[in-house]
Structure 1
Amino acid sequence: MKIFALEDEMNNHKKKKVINDKVWILISIAIAFLVWYLLSIGEVTQRSFPFIDKVVNAIGKMVERGVLFQDIKSSLLCVVAGFSLGFVTSLPIAFLMAWYKPVQKILEPWINFIRNIPALGYAPLLVITFGVGKKPAIILIWIATFMTMSITIYQGIKNIDVTLIKAARVLGASDKDIFFKIICPAVVPFIITAVRLGLSAALTTLLAAESTGAQAGIGMRIRSLSNSFESDGMLMYIILLGIIGLILVKITDFIERRLTGWQEKI
């Protein structure tokens, strides 16, 4: 009976937590809309922050022009391609840097050097090298995500408790067992963190990436609308970029729950 009572108590606690979370989300949204409204009527800010009715109208205008869905498709393609390349290349490089000291000594200084340079700094060089279009945009996002994720995963591997590895060797574990049964599970949370940071880097680099002569895309459209001072359309695209970011974060959270269910969290 005590076990059932404890389960009921835990279920009730979870339900209360879900309700509390939803209430706080509603409060947060209400505050955001209030701030937005105040900005939309402010003497200085009203031209830059039109309220929701004008932003919704901007969606209709972009659909009528036949560019909205094309821009979303183009940007998502660049982000997914650039991020995927960054992830696939950063994972082995991070393990090599953590495993072999010479590789770390050669690569780490250059990775830290390049990742501190703003993407806009070398975007023109990529256009000169690869021409205009999606290719330089994808390469720029790849560079940004690779630099961020490789260092994050590398630091995660370096922070693995050496005692666990030594204990496994004493018990007769092979290098293969150590790698797959100790290092890989221990580094998964850091890989998830690297994915979060990589997605953030991909989205924040998108504006610079699509300034490389892209014919469509959210970043390109924001720049184009800024030239014609269409603040309602600009704000709509900025909000759209934030929504895409939130969706990607939720997908990452779902993957994290699946892969790190064993990890205790606050």
Structure 2
Amino acid sequence: MAVIAAPDKTPAATAQRRGRRTPPPLLLNLAALLAGVAVWAAVAAGHLADIPGPAAVASRAGELLADGTLAEDALASLRRVFLGFALGTLAAVPVGFLMGWYPLARGLLEPYVQFFRTIPPLALIPLAIVLMGIGETPKVFVIFLAAFLSSVLAAFQGVVGVDRTLIDAARVLGARDRVVFLKVVIPAATPFLLVGMRIGLGAAWGTVVAAELIAADAGLGYEMVHAQTYYDLPTIFVGLITIGVIGLVMDRLLLLAERRLTAWQERR
């Protein structure tokens, strides 16, 4: 008599079967995008809200691209975000690591970090403009602060969250503090830092748009507030979509870097 094997119900087999039934992420992203555009077109066509439809926004985007306005504004905002974000991250890494590794540094620096963390960077824009003028410096400064506060806490949490067993094992094997920090602590804290960078990137884009709304002569935020004066909704939508697309691309690049730098980490 033939023996019928029982179906494999182990977690690994179940996950494998579920994985085969799940559509590719890119296909899901495309489906979500098409669904969103369809809902947007239906809302605009049905006059459920006073917003322009996808066709009107696409036409306006073509006009702004043709005369170079959209590219100029996007590059201006991107330059500010990149500079402030890079400076904020570069400053946050050593400060966060020092706070997490040395109790003395934590006691001296943490009150200031927590104090400024409770103050929204947008609230500092008027002060920055008064002290630094209306040039590029105040805009880059508030972006720097937004990125710094997000990344420094992530770096700090990454260091204090390192498994103590790994540190003790390295020291038992004869590793000194410098080697433990470089070979154990930094790799273990990298995933936390990269997540903080992604959060800081979103904060940087939100901050630069607010700064451009107040004082700027170029940028996506400037173009949107200028369009508001003439009730030019298609231009406002073009600015919003451009910010979202650029921010999404930058986030995906950080996500790609995270996957490469943390390839050793177990994933679900």
Relative to the length of structure 1, the TM-score reads 0.88
Equivalence for 1:24: 28
Q: List 4+ stretches of structure 1 deviating above 4 A.
A: 15-19
**Matched residue SS, 1:160:** coil
- Report if aligned partners of 2:100, 2:160 keep a CA contact under 8 Å in 1: yes
Render the CA deviation track for 1:174-193: whole Å, top value 9, x for unaligned.
11210111111111111211
Aligned-pair distance for 1:28? 0.9
Tell me the number of residue pairs that the alignment of Structure 1 and Structure 2 aligns: 254
Equivalence for 2:3: none
Distance 1:152 1:206 in 2: 22
Distance 1:77 1:177 in 2: 37
Equivalence for 1:144: 146
Aligned-pair distance for 1:35? 1.8
- Report if aligned partners of 2:159, 2:189 keep a CA contact under 8 Å in 1: yes
Of 156, 162, 171, the residue aligned with 2:164 is 162
Of 106, 122, 135, the residue aligned with 2:108 is 106
Distance 2:135 2:223 in 1: 14
Of 251, 256, 259, the residue aligned with 1:257 is 259
Distance 2:61 2:249 in 1: 19
Seq. identity, %: 34
Of 81, 84, 95, the residue aligned with 2:83 is 81
**Matched residue SS, 1:262:** coil
Equivalence for 2:229: 227
Equivalence for 2:53: 51
- Report if aligned partners of 2:80, 2:139 keep a CA contact under 8 Å in 1: yes
Aligned-pair distance for 1:167? 1.9
Aligned-pair distance for 1:87? 0.7
**Matched residue SS, 1:141:** helix
Render the CA deviation track for 1:150-207: whole Å, top value 9, x for unaligned.
0111011110011211222122111121011111111111121111111111111121
- Report if aligned partners of 1:111, 1:147 keep a CA contact under 8 Å in 2: yes
- Report if aligned partners of 2:143, 2:204 keep a CA contact under 8 Å in 1: yes
**Matched residue SS, 1:210:** helix
Structure 2, unaligned runs of 5 or more: 1-15
Matched ranges for 1:102-251 at <5 A: 102-251=104-253
**Matched residue SS, 1:56:** helix
Render the CA deviation track for 1:108-157: whole Å, top value 9, x for unaligned.
23222222323331101111111112211111100110011101110111
Structure 1, unaligned runs of 5 or more: 1-11
Residues 1:97 and 2:99 are matched in the alignment: yes
**Matched residue SS, 1:257:** helix
Let me know the Cα RMSD of the aligned residues. Answer: 2.3
Distance 1:66 1:24 in 2: 33
Higher RCO (CA < 8 A, seq sep 6+): 1
Residues 1:37 and 2:57 are matched in the alignment: no
Distance 1:70 1:137 in 2: 17
Between 25-34 and 130-139, the greater mean CA deviation after superposition: 25-34
Distance 1:39 1:125 in 2: 41
- Report if aligned partners of 1:127, 1:212 keep a CA contact under 8 Å in 2: no
Distance 2:40 2:130 in 1: 41
What one-letter code is carried by the residue in structure 1 that aligns with 2:141?
A: I
Distance 1:214 1:185 in 2: 40
- Report if aligned partners of 1:132, 1:214 keep a CA contact under 8 Å in 2: yes
Distance 2:265 2:166 in 1: 17
Relative to the length of structure 2, the TM-score reads 0.87
Distance 1:25 1:120 in 2: 32
